[in-house]
């Protein structure tokens, strides 16, 4: 959500920014400014009436002391509160409309963001590691899991429907190893490890994202003002909702482990079998709250953290930057980290980094106090590791012709020093 003062002073910049996102509703900027002007006029009128009421009250007191006739002034005094109330009701209604319009105006894109209409125009920035080419037919992770007896997608479908899974033995250990490895990695880099709540209130959802869009993929707890979190970013950032942070505490660097829950409806749908796109998954998330002038430096840091995690796992990756039309409205800049799939001979998303500048902190009313003034900090987030996606990458890239899976060296200490996942006899 942009600062209304910025929009008043730079309406054409805001419209141009919307056009870069291929938005055709730039008229909402004019609608917003018209309502804002009307709101400010009503504000001036209510202040004038309050001043008038104070003057009339003073005159009544003076006339009482002098024995004068106060009948006309009493009538005038009685009429003013009703006029003020009427104006305040109009103000309240206008304020809601203004906030709704503000939420529809996207964040100002960073100058480095490539202009493009949709994800087909995203830009590859850099690759790490050479794509692994197998000298034998590459099996899907579902085939491998079922052949090795380390996952059951049929039983989970009977129990909960498509989009869930049972992990057994070595694959369950691999999942936990990835979580522990990512946790230790982030702690060594100075991030505070946290386990957040798995449910949040509607107020948090509204502050974190465009909830009208996100409600399609988020689970609601029936009869309560609670929603299952789609990512740990929600409770980590919202921990500071309606709070004032002392400047000396910045930057705040957090990493949180949680299970995440998403309906995953829409164009992609849900995988009938497998680990790639599911209703429930495990993730270690990175979050930074920082000074505005530092946010792009920390954007690079968050992205590098994920790159280094996958480098240590030995997985080839690339950074695929989001173009203007593919960025969510709160994002000023974003990119996906993608891992190589030897089965598809292409890349797939394993994480996503975002700089939301001060749009998210405005919506959540998070402020910083430097002793002289209060202002909104910048918020950033990135996936450290989503274990289901990472397991797919490991199963595909490190499968052997005999059907076994080589375990990345860095995960061995977390898996009782195992080096392979092999068929059980």
Last-in-domain residue among 77, 104, 131: 104
Domain containing 396 — which CATH number? 3.30.930.10
Same domain, 260 and 352: yes
The verdict on residue 216 lying in a domain is yes
Per-residue burial over 317-354, b if 16 or more Cβ lie within 10 Å, else e, is: bbbbbbbbbbbbbbbbbbbbbbbbbbbeeebeebbbbb
Asked whether the predicted pLDDT for residue 110 surpasses 80, the reply is yes
Asked whether the predicted pLDDT for residue 105 surpasses 90, the reply is yes
Whether omega for the bond prior to residue 251 falls within 30 degrees of 0, making it cis, is yes
The verdict on residue 332 lying in a domain is yes
Last-in-domain residue among 48, 71, 104: 104
Same domain, 329 and 399: yes
pTM of the predicted model as reported, rounded to 2 decimal places: 0.91
Percent of the chain having pLDDT more than 70? 97
Q: What is the pLDDT of residues 359-395, one digit of tens each?
A: 999 999 999 999 999 999 999 999 999 999 999 999 9
Q: Is 352 a catalytic residue?
A: yes
Same domain, 91 and 164: no
Same domain, 242 and 131: yes
pLDDT value, residue 414: 97
Q: Is 389 a catalytic residue?
A: yes
Choose the catalytic residue: 46, 262, 318, 341.
262
Which residue range(s) make up the domain with 83? 4-104
Asked whether the predicted pLDDT for residue 211 surpasses 70, the reply is no
pLDDT value, residue 36: 95
The verdict on residue 91 lying in a domain is yes
For the chain, the domain total comes to: 2
Domain containing 61 — which CATH number? 1.10.287.40
Q: How would residue 216 be classed by pLDDT, with cut points 50, 70 and 90?
A: confident
Give bridge partners of residue 383 from the DSSP assignment: 285
Same domain, 206 and 99: no
Choose the catalytic residue: 97, 203, 349, 422.
349
Same domain, 125 and 93: no
Q: What is the pLDDT of residues 4-52, one digit of tens each?
A: 999 999 999 999 999 999 999 999 999 999 999 999 999 999 898 888 8
pLDDT value, residue 271: 60
Choose the catalytic residue: 322, 341, 352, 388.
352
Same domain, 9 and 88: yes
The verdict on residue 63 lying in a domain is yes
Last-in-domain residue among 72, 104, 136: 104
> What number of residues does the chain have?
425
Same domain, 200 and 148: yes
Per-residue burial over 185-204, b if 16 or more Cβ lie within 10 Å, else e, is: bbeeeebeebebebbbeebb
Choose the catalytic residue: 203, 277, 291, 312.
277
Of 342, 124, 381, whose CA–CA distance to 237 is shortest?
381
Q: What is the mean pLDDT of residues 93-122?
A: 95
Q: What is the mean pLDDT of residues 298-306?
A: 98
Q: Is 349 a catalytic residue?
A: yes
Same domain, 316 and 289: yes
pLDDT value, residue 267: 47
Same domain, 84 and 177: no
The verdict on residue 109 lying in a domain is no
Q: Is 277 a catalytic residue?
A: yes
The verdict on residue 111 lying in a domain is no
Same domain, 55 and 184: no
Choose the catalytic residue: 301, 363, 389, 396.
389
For the chain, the three-class secondary structure string (H helix, E strand, C coil) is CCCHHHHHHCHHHHHHHHHHCCCCCCHHHHHHHHHHHHHHHHHHHHHHHHHHHHHHHHHHHHHHHHCCCCHHHHHHHHHHHHHHHHHHHHHHHHHHHHHHHHHHCCCCCCCCCCCCCCHHHCEEEEEECCCCCCCCCCCCHHHHHHHHCCEEHHHHHHHHCCCCCEECHHHHHHHHHHHHHHHHHHHHCCCEEECCCCEECHHHHHHHCCHHHHCCCCCECCCCCCEECCCCHHHHHHCCCCCEEEHHHCCEEEEEEEEEECCCCCCCCCCCCCCCCCCEEEEEEEEEEECHHHHHHHHHHHHHHHHHHHHHHCCCEEEEECCHHHCCCCCCEEEEEEEEECCCCEEEEEEEEEECCCHHHHHHCCEEECCCCEECCEEEEEEEEEHHHHHHHHHHHCECCCCCEECCHHHHHHHCCCCEECCCC
The verdict on residue 331 lying in a domain is yes
Asked whether the predicted pLDDT for residue 281 surpasses 60, the reply is yes
User: Which pair of structure tokens corresponds to residue 252?
Assistant: 């705040």
Asked whether the predicted pLDDT for residue 213 surpasses 90, the reply is no
Q: Is 8 a catalytic residue?
A: no
The verdict on residue 112 lying in a domain is no
pLDDT value, residue 59: 84
Q: Which of 166-170, 216-220, 235-239 has the lowest mean pLDDT?
A: 216-220
Q: How would residue 407 be classed by pLDDT, with cut points 50, 70 and 90?
A: very high
Same domain, 243 and 336: yes
């Amino acid at each position: 959500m942009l600062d209304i003062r910025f929009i008043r002073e730079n309406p054409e910049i805001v419209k141009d920014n919307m056009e870069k996102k291929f938005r055709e509703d730039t008229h909402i900027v004019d609608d917003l400014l018209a309502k804002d002007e009307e709101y400010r006029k009503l504000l001036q009128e209510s202040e004038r009436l309050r001043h008038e009421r104070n003057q009339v009250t003073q005159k009544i007191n003076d006339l009482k002391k002098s024995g004068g006739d106060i009948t006309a002034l009493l009538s005038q005094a009685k009429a003013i509160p009703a006029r003020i109330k009427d104006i305040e009701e109009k103000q309240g209604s206008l304020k809601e409309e203004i906030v709704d319009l503000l939420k529809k105006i996207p964040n100002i894109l960073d100058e480095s963001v490539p202009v493009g209409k949709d994800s087909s125009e995203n830009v590859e920035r850099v690759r790490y590691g050479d794509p692994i080419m197998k000298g034998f037919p590459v099996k899907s992770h579902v085939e491998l899991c079922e052949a090795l007896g380390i996952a059951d997608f049929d039983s989970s479908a009977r129990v909960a429907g498509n989009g869930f899974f049972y992990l057994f033995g070595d694959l369950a250990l691999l999942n936990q190893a990835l979580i522990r490895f990512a946790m230790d990695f982030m702690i060594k880099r100075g991030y505070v490890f946290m386990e957040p709540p798995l449910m949040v209130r509607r107020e948090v959802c509204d502050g974190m994202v465009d909830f009208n869009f996100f409600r399609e993929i988020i689970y609601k707890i029936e009869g309560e003002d609670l929603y299952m979190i789609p990512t740990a970013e929600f409770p980590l950032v919202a921990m500071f909702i309606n709070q004032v942070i002392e400047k000396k505490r910045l930057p705040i660097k957090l990493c949180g482990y949680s299970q995440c829950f998403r309906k995953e409806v829409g164009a992609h749908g849900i995988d009938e079998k497998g680990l790639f796109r599911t209703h429930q998954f495990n993730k270690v998330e990175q979050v930074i709250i920082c000074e505005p002038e530092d946010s792009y430096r920390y954007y690079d840091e968050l992205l590098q953290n994920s790159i280094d995690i996958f480098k240590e796992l030995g997985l080839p990756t690339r950074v695929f930057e989001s173009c203007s039309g593919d960025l969510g409205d709160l994002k000023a800049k974003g990119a996906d980290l993608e891992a190589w799939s030897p089965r598809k001979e292409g890349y797939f998303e394993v994480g996503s980094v975002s700089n939301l500048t001060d749009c998210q902190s405005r919506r959540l009313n998070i402020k910083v106090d430097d002793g002289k003034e209060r202002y909104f900090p910048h918020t950033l987030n990135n996936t450290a590791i989503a274990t289901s996606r990472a397991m797919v990458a490991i199963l595909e890239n490190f499968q052997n012709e005999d059907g076994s899976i080589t375990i990345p060296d860095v995960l061995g200490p977390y898996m009782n020093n195992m080096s392979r996942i092999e068929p059980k006899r």
